[in-house]
A and B are shown apart, each in its own frame.
Chain A
Amino acid sequence: ETGVTQSPTHLIKTRGQQVTLRCSSQSGHNTVSWYQQALGQGPQFIFQYYREEENGRGNFPPRFSGLQFPNYSSELNVNALELDDSALYLCASSRDGGNEKLFFGSGTQLSVL
């Protein structure tokens, strides 16, 4: 059974740029959730993708968007990057839209300069 994998592991961007982060869900999981974790804080929910559609969203602006593909993998896109977007971005997978036993990947560390 393969776990949740994310790429890239680290990324440096400048303010105003756009970024795409990628996630492959754990084998057997059809739901992907994205979380943002600022330094010293707990993860905060960005949104969830289930059946290739956004299925629940946290308090994040529209410049945070995503996709889910037929193989259940997912992308997180952030446009017009701001300095405060610097954080660890975590992908988590689960079954059927729920949060039971949510398993996280190792994350992508994004630095915005």
Chain B
Amino acid sequence: GESVGLHLPTLSVQEGDNSIINCAYSNSASDYFIWYKQESGKGPQFIIDIRSNMDKRQGQRVTVLLNKTVKHLSLQIAATQPGDSAVYFCAENTQGGGQAGTALIFGKGTTLSVSS
């Protein structure tokens, strides 16, 4: 599968490959993270979230890994499909996502292109 060590704005993969999208977050106090998928002309769509008391969380075809030591988050998509083509954003928050009035801070997006 295709993977990147540092954030890259674009990632191109073949259908069926595994994709890994990386994100570096900025605030060492952040303890809640969300991955979003955004298709052209649409709002961000919730994919998966993770709290800082976990290193890994799995969903349907997706896995999020969290490395708090280096403030790094990754999203792994298994058996990537053309419908996965979109811009992917990571977002961070403090207080476990429960603090009223705080913002989700979004990272730089990665455009995933899947060719068949």
User: Do residues A101 and B46 form an inter-chain contact, with CB atoms below 8 A?
Assistant: yes
User: Do residues A98 and B89 form an inter-chain contact, with CB atoms below 8 A?
Assistant: no
A102 vs B46: C-alpha distance in the bound complex, in angstroms? Answer: 7
Of B37-45, B54-62, B74-82, the one touching chain A: B37-45
User: Do residues A103 and B99 form an inter-chain contact, with CB atoms below 8 A?
Assistant: no
Is A106 in the interface zone, CB < 8 Å from B? yes
Chain B residues within 8 Å of A14, by CB: none
Chain B residues within 8 Å of A100, by CB: 32, 49, 96-98
What's the nearest-Cβ distance from chain A to residue B52, in Å? 13
Q: Which of A90, A97, A98, A101 contacts B43 (CB 8 A)?
A: A90
Which of B43, B45, B46, B49 is the most central at the interface, judged by chain A CB atoms within 10 Å of its CB?
B43
Is A42 in the interface zone, CB < 8 Å from B? yes
Is A99 in the interface zone, CB < 8 Å from B? yes
Is B102 in the interface zone, CB < 8 Å from A? yes
Which A residues between 15 and 66 are near B, CB-CB below 8 angstroms? 31, 33, 41-45, 48, 50, 55-56, 58
Query: Could you list 17 examples of A-B contacts with CB < 8 Å?
Result: A45-B104, A55-B100, A56-B102, A92-B43, A98-B98, A99-B93, A99-B97, A99-B99, A100-B49, A100-B98, A101-B46, A101-B49, A102-B34, A104-B44, A105-B43, A106-B42, A107-B42
